[in-house]
Chains A and B, each alone.
Chain A
Amino acid sequence: MSLTADTVKKIAHLARLGIDTRDIDDYTQDLSGILDLMTQMNALDTDAVTPMAHPMDQVQRLRADTVTESDQRRVFQAIAPQVEAGLYLVPKVIE
């Protein structure tokens, strides 16, 4: 199955991933090849098979709804690109 350059641009936008316009053709070709590899699975009839999300079919463990973590905002914000007054700064979203 082959993808078009437009589809690659659309996926890149969905993933909020900047890709160099010069590289689009390479990605289009690589991704088409990988999708071809995936279509090998179509040779298998899997209608009656239950999907397996996790090894050993584990169930997600739950814990009691109690506070277990202490406030570490200062520690975490110390490695942030831009913070002010305890807030993470990003470009203005609402005019």
Chain B
Amino acid sequence: MHNCTIAELASSLRTGEFSSVELTQAYLKRIEQHQALNSLITVTADQALMQAQAADDMRAAGQAGLLTGIPVIHKDIFCTKGVKTSCGSKMLDNFIAPYNATVIEKFHAAGAVTLGKSNMDEFAMGSSNETSYYGPVQNPWHTAAVPGGSSGGSAAAVAARLCAAATGTDTGGSIRQPAALCGITGLKPTYGRVSRYGMIAYASSLDQGGPMTRSAEDAAIMLQTMAGFDDKDSTSVEQPVPDYLAELNKPLDGLKIGLPEEFFGTGLNSDIAQALDAAIDQFQKLGAQVKSVSMPHLQYAIPAYYVIAPAECSANLSRFDGVRFGYRCENPADLTDLYTRSRGEAFGKEVKRRILIGTYALSAGYYDAYYLKAQKVRRLITEDFKAALTEVDVLMGPVSPSTAFGQGEKTGDPIQMYLSDIYTIAVNLAGLPALSIPAGFVDGKPVGLQIIGDYFAEGRLLSSAHQYQQVTDWHLQTPEGFD
């Protein structure tokens, strides 16, 4: 049963082939068997079994929806009442969330089962899951390789079939890049589509939660539950949520695909380029038209991002001061010592690097040169996307310049690590939706195809991906030892 999609599991639960309790037990057993992956920080077995029983009761009462009784894993960035919510940091190792994130509430209301909380880069800052206080996560396709990050635990858990689906968050590629590296489907929705309430903030103008699943259809089911206006999130957008499942069967005939020249330049591995060409050919066979587009400012996305994200992070992480919650150092001499040592002892190196960069960029005399400049560049990049999306319906390209790289390969050089997100970061600056779907393999490691759409065009992205998945089987492959 662990190899089924949400849609298949929902059907089996409906016909009574197995109960949610049985399904939950099966996944908990797999989680136990595959502990070496280190994809979970916390397993909530007792609560999961209670939720499963409640879901079975809900079904018996005739109130079941598609997610009722479906076991999922949430990234450890979503506050979960009564459960440790660490955000991958020593700072929050003792933090039992006193309330639920809106996303968690929505899954509860749908009757979904939470198996546990997934491992992640500390405060979502990283592209390999190696900055986690809880240690690195193995990629199920190649255990010496990273799963990507920051939602690396969620991606590895879905790929290893330890849950039916998972949630992730994406600030610069943190859903799409691990989805690509682990061979699963991951969607970053439009900024404001999914509530950020209770989702621990990294860079508030970029962060967005989304689904990480086996298929586009499953992503549609998950997004249907996750999306929607929330008055507890001041940047939530008041826009009706369409029926994503109904839209899935929209044919590709006439779909205009734009290929940004800047995405297919010299930095891209040639084997990956070949896999992407084959995928794009397949879209053409299904009736789509392809056109080259140019977005000249894309090359400035990384520098702009590494000003804006650290600036926002330095402000957001100032709340971790050792006073109200989280880690506090022993025997502080005075208040300054309390702040300085609590933060110094509990934050990891990458988090410190970003706080320092952000503090510098916002400090007196440098604001205009860095932060204001980056915000201007952000507009130029956004205008590039808007212009391209008036010519075409969607944009396609790579997710990551390479397949999953080795553990430890890039940890010594932060800039090399930052460049892992070269194809994903611009989308966050513009606030657009984008997804990653499996589109082949290079040397046994998965390759992801990125599809970017206009604001609130998640339905179009999901239907494009779904139509592709109807005629290909990349998304159905299971890593060896996990079938």
With a cutoff of 8 Å between Cβ atoms, the chain B residues found around residue A3 in the complex are 360
Within 8 A of A (CB), among B370-393: 370, 372-380, 382
Q: Is B441 an interface residue (CB 8 A)?
A: no
- Chain A residue nearest to B456 (CB atoms) is A56
Given contacts A52-B382, A79-B98, contact A17 B347 (CB under 8 A): yes
The closest CB in chain B to the CB of A43 belongs to B300
Question: Does any Cβ of B come within 8 Å of A5's Cβ?
Answer: no
Interface string of B333-362 (1 = CB under 8 A from A): 111111111011101010011011101110
Does A67 have its Cβ within 8 Å of any Cβ on chain B?
A: no
Whether B110 is near chain A, meaning CB under 8 Å from some CB there, is no
Interface residues on B, range: 35 or more
What chain B residues lie within 8 Å of A18 (beta carbons)? 340-341, 343-345
Give chain B residues whose Cβ lies under 8 Å from the Cβ of A39. Answer: 303
Is there contact, CB below 8 Å, between B98 and A51?
Answer: no
Interface residue? B332 (CB, 8 A): yes
Q: Does A66 contact B (CB under 8 A)?
A: no
Indicate if B306 sits at the interface (CB-CB under 8 A): yes
Main secondary structure of the interface of B (DSSP, over half): helix
The count of A-to-B residue pairs whose CB atoms sit within 8 angstroms is 169
Residue among A7, A39, A46, A63 having the largest count of chain B Cβ atoms under 10 Å: A46
Contact A58 B237 (CB under 8 A): yes
Contacts of B352 in A (CB 8 A): 17, 19, 27
Contact A30 B379 (CB under 8 A): no
The reply to whether B379 and A80 contact each other, CB–CB distance below 8 Å, is no
Instruction: List the A residue with the shortest CB-CB distance to B361.
Output: A38
B431 near A61: Cβ-Cβ < 8 Å: no
Interface assignment of B328: CB less than 8 Å from any CB of chain A: yes
Nearest first, the 3 closest Cβ-Cβ pairs linking A and B are A18-B344, A55-B431, A51-B375
Q: A17-B344, A18-B344, A55-B432 are known contacts; what are 15 more A-B pairs with Cβ within 8 Å? A: A15-B343, A15-B359, A30-B353, A31-B360, A34-B353, A34-B357, A34-B414, A37-B303, A41-B300, A50-B376, A53-B375, A58-B192, A60-B234, A63-B231, A80-B325
Q: List 13 A-B contacts (CB under 8 A).
A: A35-B357, A38-B374, A40-B300, A51-B375, A52-B375, A55-B192, A56-B192, A58-B237, A80-B325, A90-B323, A91-B333, A91-B337, A93-B334
